[in-house]
Structure 1
């Protein structure tokens, strides 16, 4: 795989990519963000892959009483409703969240719900996942069906004894039932390939070699004055297939791949509010380079965009595990809540997509 031509940081380029036939997938917090971005910008996407993620605005399933702040309520919801509900009945309320999604669209904060009807969805939960329970992910399927997505367009898998992870066929990855970082487990198949094959039914077999370029670009230009709220890294990555680099592809598709917590390229554990650099884990950019996206993208002329979140633990933002925001830590103001079209992270990621499509 070729890095940026001179080994330096580059500016994300424009490739006249598709305006509406793009897709997105993610694991864990990246899966929750996948759902948020999918709804917020549904006009841009033809499908989504959700691995261990809950429905839209899941962290607001139960509204706070007068004794609990909205922020505290979202945190409690995220932990005990959207990740580890005691029993299925205490999990997310799909009907309520559907109503909230429709109200959010009517308020003009997200795209028209009708855009979702023909989209293709891959939804997965490992039967050994003890981080985000399968009961939660089942509500994600129910949520989309209630919003009008055709049942035949949804692949739902809960039959693999996987822990909390994206699955590969790499022998060096963790055992399939593992529930710990780097959350990349060997299950004998490339889940990224299954996701893309379902979203796009015209794909060729993965290339033996990813002969395009894996570019490291400056994410900060897409953050601007929102940077203090973003909890996003300095760099993002993009895989550009060789034929796209040569200008031989008209309107290439873009797939956005969102890592989960503790999977960003510069993740370090936080101890007492400080980055524990001395014990930084050796995960690095494995989500970017070993999860299989680049090889199937190479043979099918799909650009893969890898935005990067990072750990932040200070007086303003508590995101020590480097998760994407699905409970509100990045709320800048009332006009840009974390799930909306104007949310700090959603706006930045979509701006990257716009650049690729320009």
Structure 2
């Protein structure tokens, strides 16, 4: 059954791409991500904390953990938390803020953060996620940070209705854990949300849109970005109801190029969106020679400014965000 779903998803790669639309949205947004997407969500939050009011991190580590080095990314920032130097990271972060390459760090204090790390995660161990928690506590009160370290989950997005066995790795990195990670994350970031049932369907529209127009200097693929992304629009939001925007970053090997719309359709966000008037933006990274697994850039394969508001990927996604808000 899983293989059949993936086949249908990959066939969807040939679908026509629409122009990304604008909606009646709040002027701020929140972000989340898994694995490399977790690192990107954190980078996007830190770089644009003036307009991003919260982040949910599933299996990710602290900002600028890799220090621009691919080897550090694949070793220290995945499995050796004792070697993560938060002093150096905070020094870089402060310098970037002082020079305008990221928003003022004082903005972070008004936000909320959700951190999830499974007890069986063999790809990014819990100690790395706890370093992320330590990083954030330098800028955000502990009361605004929710951590979940007690679910017996392998590396992947935890859901209550879709995916492989919770404690075993699978090739789409979505785990059926009887735990609705998307809801728990968004409910912490916003509060007071309605929780969908595990059998809830999706009544909105998942739209494939053209990402290429958001990269001005070269084709999107130059920066490890797909030519198309996804956006989920509940019927109420399509009809003009005031809605909120959440940006969800997939992990490595989870982009459209590899699994079609599987992450965008089955990670659990869309059912929450239907009940609570959220639009979910799913930007898509892809493989290039220096990024063979289609990861987001959290170690520098697109250039030294990868973790700042001067980053090609962050700039492109920021333009997508502003388009949905009617600002670009």
TM-score (norm 1): 0.83
Q: Does 1:153 align with 2:129?
A: no
1:277 alignment partner in structure 2: none
Residue 234 of structure 1 and its aligned partner are, at CA, apart by: 1.2
Larger Rg: 1
CA drift at 1:179: 2.8
Q: CA deviation at 1:141?
A: 0.3
Instruction: Tell me if structure 2 keeps the 8 A contact 1:51–1:125.
Output: yes
**How far does the alpha carbon of each residue in 1:53-79 deviate from its partner, in whole angstroms, 9 at most, with x for none?**
11111011xxxxxxxxxx6xx012112
Match of 1:341 in 2: 309
Alpha-carbon distance between aligned partners in 1 of 2:125 and 2:170, rounded to the nearest angstrom: 15
Instruction: Output the CA distance in 2 between the equivalents of 1:134 and 1:226.
Output: 38
**Aligned residues: CA RMSD:** 1.6
Query: Shift in Å at residue 126 of structure 1?
Result: 0.9
Map 1:217-296; keep pairs closer than 5 Å.
Answer: 217-227=209-219, 229-247=222-240, 249-250=241-242, 252-267=243-258, 283-296=259-272
In structure 2, distance between residues paired with 1:44 and 1:140: 21
Distance 1:180 1:239 in 2: 25
Any runs of at least 4 consecutive aligned residues in structure 1 with deviations exceeding 6 A, and if so which?
none
- Give the counterpart of 1:330 among 294, 302, 310: 302
CA displacement at 1:206 relative to structure 2: 2.7
Shift of 1:189: 1.8
Q: Tell me, yes or no, if structure 1 residue 111 matches structure 2 residue 103.
A: yes
CA distance in 1, matches of 2:115, 2:130: 9
Distance 1:104 1:329 in 2: 19
Q: 2:293 corresponds to which residue?
A: 321
Count how many residue pairs are aligned between Structure 1 and Structure 2.
Answer: 310
Matched, 1:94 2:69: no
Residues 253 and 145 of structure 1, relative CA distance in 2, 3 Å threshold? same
Residue 202 of structure 1: which of 192, 207, 225 is its match?
A: 192
Do residues 350 (structure 1) and 318 (structure 2) align? Answer: yes
List runs of 5+ in structure 2 lacking aligned partners: 1-11
Deviation per residue, 1:132-178 (Å, 9 max, x gap): 111111000000001x201011111111111111111225x211112
Asked whether the 8 Å contact 1:94–1:140 carries over to 2, the reply is no
The question of 1:53 aligning with 2:45 is answered no
2:79 maps to 1:84: yes
2:24 and 2:237 in contact (8 A); partners too: no
The CA distance in 1 between the partners of 2:101 and 2:171, in whole Å, is 34
Which residue number corresponds to residue 302 of structure 1? 278
Indicate the residue corresponding to 1:44 in structure 2. 51
Question: What SS does the corresponding residue of 2:79 show, helix, strand or coil?
Answer: coil
Residue 180 of structure 1 and its aligned partner are, at CA, apart by: 4.0
Question: Partner residue of 2:112?
Answer: 120
Preserved contact between residue 24 and residue 325 of structure 2 (Cα < 8 Å): yes
- In 1, Cα distance between the equivalents of 2:51 and 2:208? 24
Structure 1 distance, partners of 2:128, 2:161, is 28
CA shift digits 1:258-314 (9 cap, x unpaired): 0000001112xxxxxxxxxxxxxxx3321111111011101111100000001112x
The residue that corresponds to 1:142 in the other structure is 134
